[in-house]
Structure 1
Amino acid sequence: MVRQERAIHEHEVIIMLEKFKELSKEDRKEWVILQLFIWCSWGIIVLMQAFFAQTRVECVLYGFLGVLPWMVGVWQFGKIDGFVFVGLTFCSGILLSIRLPGSWPIAGLAAIYYLFTSVYITLKVDIIKENIYFDHNVQKQNEDLTKENLMEKSELLHTLLRAIDAKDSYTYLHSTRVSHYAASIAKYMKLGTKEVEDISISGMLHDIGKIGVKESILNKTTKLDEPEMKEILKHPAIGAHIAGNLEYLSCVLPGIHYHHERYDGTGYPEGLKGDDIPLQARILAVADAFDAMTSKRTYRTGMTFNVAIKELVRNIGIQFDPKAVLALVELVKNKSV
């Protein structure tokens, strides 16, 4: 228990010291002025010592008094009442003047100077402490709200995924694998943590629009006719519409909406070409095709990873982004997916 309290105390001291370094420009300016005053005053006292000090003991006592104001600041960070040290400082000056009568003007001046400095440091640190505790409370409230929002988002995401699963279990499992492949590609391409997270979520939801497609079309094992094909081609737009109504999913819209675009510009829904296709969608297109080729269906067996990779490489620059394909090639080669 004692160790735990000490650890908490040390953590608070570190926070306070860091906060002290982050004073506003006005506070820093005020602090610099105080420093100049302190050192100039101390310089004057040292010069006066040279004329009035009669013993080495007296010089040592003056020097000890010079350290006390800084002890006030340090101990205040350690939660010990700084006003105790203010009193000690003042009393030390008085005692010095009594014990060394010939130097009472210097001791009096020193006592006043130390009193002023100690009070200033004490009050200043108290203000900093109040600001720290206020900031800490605000930060804690923000963290609580963030956790609450994350829980709500997580529940909503799982609701959407359950809706996909209820409609078509293959689509749900396919989306899970696409999410994994896409996130692995994004990490290999050294994208940021937030981008990888967005791509992972986008992979889970890239086929959310199939909720609006008839099950008879989704589960058909023979070739789709023209009306059915038109129906299935609507799913990216439907998915984008669903996600577009949820503000926190705005970051995954590109993947949902454009994952069927082709690198040569012959894809859908808008026929985007090359780098005009969002990177999120280009990565998802590779992950989506890879899983579609390697997955076992009721009407066919899945390809091996190596055969699927060869097919992806063959379509570099035609259907797929070169960098995304080459990233997956390396991942498969290293058995990292």
Structure 2
Amino acid sequence: MPSPFLKLPDKYEQEFFNEIVRLNFLRSRNLALVLSLLNILFIIFDIKNYQEGLWYWYTPSGYLTLFYLHVFLGLILSIFLLLSWFNRLKSEDQVLTRWHSLLGTFFSAFIILFSSCISINDQLLHNQITVFILGSILIATNNYLKPIISITVFASSMILFMIGITFLQSDLDVLKGNYINGTILIIFAWFLSFTIYNMKIQDFISQKTIQQKNKEVEDYNNDLIEINNRLEESLQALDESQNVIFTLASALESKDTYTRGHSERVANYALQLAQTLGLSLNDQQTVWRAAQLHDIGKIGIPDAILNKSGKLNEEEWEIMRSHPEMGENICSTLSFARNFLPLIRHHHEHFDGTGYPDGLKGEEIPFLARIITIADAVDAITSHRSYRPSRTIDYALEELAIGKGSQFDPSIVQAFIESFNYA
């Protein structure tokens, strides 16, 4: 069975209680001002009753006690207003003190207990408990009392009320009626106070949830704006540099007929792998562009080496292995390519550190460069070369599996293989 007590998340507890203290303090002060004005009228009526001979200074009576109670109420309200003025809240962000909490709680308890005393005295005058009813409901609806505080205050006032009317009410039928009505009243007032307090918790949680959702939406919108701005900047830079890129790409393909379409296919494999890994749109765009230009450095490789039908000797391999650095140097002059220069330079690094040009190992190799390495290998295996025929994609996947942990990043290879197996 769910608990009737709503639970505040720990991170909101202090903020909620600060809000409750602030509201109780301000509402108690405003109510005290209203009651002070009303109490002046009550004292005026007491004096009028004195003039009409309803009570005398030295003769105990209900009217004399009522006058003393009104004077006492005025004194307490004046002290409360004075203390609340000294501890007044000047701004929303002012730090709350123990005084603010004590004053709000004291005022609530005092009004309920004082209402009980008034209704006890009323047994000598009118046999009514109207003030007790009004005071209890007024505090239950005006202030937010914690359940433990409200049940303590209401129970104390009920005990005081029962004891008081038992001694002052001589009519047993009236006494019985007041017992029943007082009990019903105090249960209703506490339940009302408890319900309003729980509603306040629910309202506070709802406000915080809405604020959190609004913040998430705002952050998401800001991210979208930032991504959009970056895309616009990248597209603008791409427009400015596209003629250079097309010229370089055409020059490379004219030098090496076997690499025609290679960069585009590698870019598509790399993009597919980036999407499989769930990378951001920005990373997908970066890896696609870097893959398009990863071999651009081959434009500086002599045709004799680039188009050699047989295997390269050690000296020729040394020259061929310089193409990542050449590609980095060529693209360093293009503003839109500066953020993926490391991907061009390191796309031939091996996961075990045996690659080139810098012999990087494992996590030292940029993550997106590791993606391009796999995409490059897949297309190289499945494309026709002067020294061997093209192989199937299944053969390429087997080669990737063999190279896990040595040439390739194991986790990325596994994701690539699983994506093909799933398809």
TM-score by length of 2: 0.45
- The reply on whether 1:270 has 2:358 as its aligned counterpart is yes
Q: Which residue of 2 aligns with 1:67?
A: 191
What is the distance in 1 between the residues matched to 2:395 and 2:183?
88
What is the distance in 1 between the residues matched to 2:362 and 2:214?
49
Instruction: Give the aligned residue type for 1:205.
Output: R
Q: Which residue of 1 aligns with 2:231?
A: 154
User: In the TM superposition, what whole-angstrom CA distance separates every residue of 1:236-279 from its partner, at most 9, and x where no partner exists?
Assistant: 56668868987xx5xx7765543210234332231113454345
CA contact (8 A) 1:207 1:239 kept: no
Map 1:238-317 onto structure 2 (within 5 A): 255-295=343-383, 302-317=390-405
Q: Secondary structure at the match of 1:206?
A: helix
Q: Which residue of 1 aligns with 2:92?
A: none
Q: Which residue of 1 aligns with 2:288?
A: 204
Kindly state the Cα deviation for residue 209 of structure 1 after the two structures are TM-superposed: 5.0
Instruction: Give the aligned residue type for 2:230.
Output: K
CA contact (8 A) 1:285 1:320 kept: yes
CA contact (8 A) 2:321 2:357 kept: no
- The reply on whether 1:319 has 2:407 as its aligned counterpart is yes
CA contact (8 A) 1:282 1:321 kept: yes
- Aligned residue-pair number: 259
Kindly state the Cα deviation for residue 148 of structure 1 after the two structures are TM-superposed: 1.6
- The reply on whether 1:222 has 2:328 as its aligned counterpart is no
Q: Which residue of 2 aligns with 1:37?
A: 149
Instruction: Give the aligned residue type for 1:273.
Output: K
Q: Secondary structure at the match of 1:145?
A: helix
Kindly state the Cα deviation for residue 315 of structure 1 after the two structures are TM-superposed: 3.8
CA contact (8 A) 2:352 2:362 kept: yes
- Show structure 1 runs of 5+ residues with no match: 1-16, 80-124, 188-192
What is the distance in 2 between the residues matched to 1:78 and 1:50?
35
- The reply on whether 1:25 has 2:137 as its aligned counterpart is no
User: In the TM superposition, what whole-angstrom CA distance separates every residue of 1:38-60 from its partner, at most 9, and x where no partner exists?
Assistant: 23212212323543473423322
Instruction: Give the aligned residue type for 2:399.
Output: E
- The reply on whether 1:235 has 2:327 as its aligned counterpart is yes
CA contact (8 A) 2:294 2:344 kept: no
- The reply on whether 1:177 has 2:301 as its aligned counterpart is no
Provide the alpha-carbon RMSD of the alignment. Answer: 5.0
Kindly state the Cα deviation for residue 288 of structure 1 after the two structures are TM-superposed: 2.4
Q: Secondary structure at the match of 1:265?
A: coil
Q: Secondary structure at the match of 1:23?
A: helix
What is the distance in 2 between the residues matched to 1:325 and 1:150?
28
- The reply on whether 1:46 has 2:158 as its aligned counterpart is yes
CA contact (8 A) 2:295 2:344 kept: no
User: In the TM superposition, what whole-angstrom CA distance separates every residue of 1:288-326 from its partner, at most 9, and x where no partner exists?
Assistant: 211332256899864211222233344445422344434
What is the distance in 2 between the residues matched to 1:154 and 1:197?
10
Counterpart of 1:58 (choices 164, 167, 182) is 182
Q: Which residue of 1 aligns with 2:113?
A: none
What is the distance in 1 between the residues matched to 2:153 and 2:377?
78
Q: 1:267 to 1:39 in 2, by over 3 A?
A: same
Rg bigger for which structure? 2
CA contact (8 A) 1:183 1:199 kept: no
Instruction: Give the aligned residue type for 1:47.
Output: I
User: In the TM superposition, what whole-angstrom CA distance separates every residue of 1:175-221 from its partner, at most 9, and x where no partner exists?
Assistant: 1222213543xx4xxxxx55x76763443133365597486869997
Question: Percentage identity across aligned positions?
Answer: 24
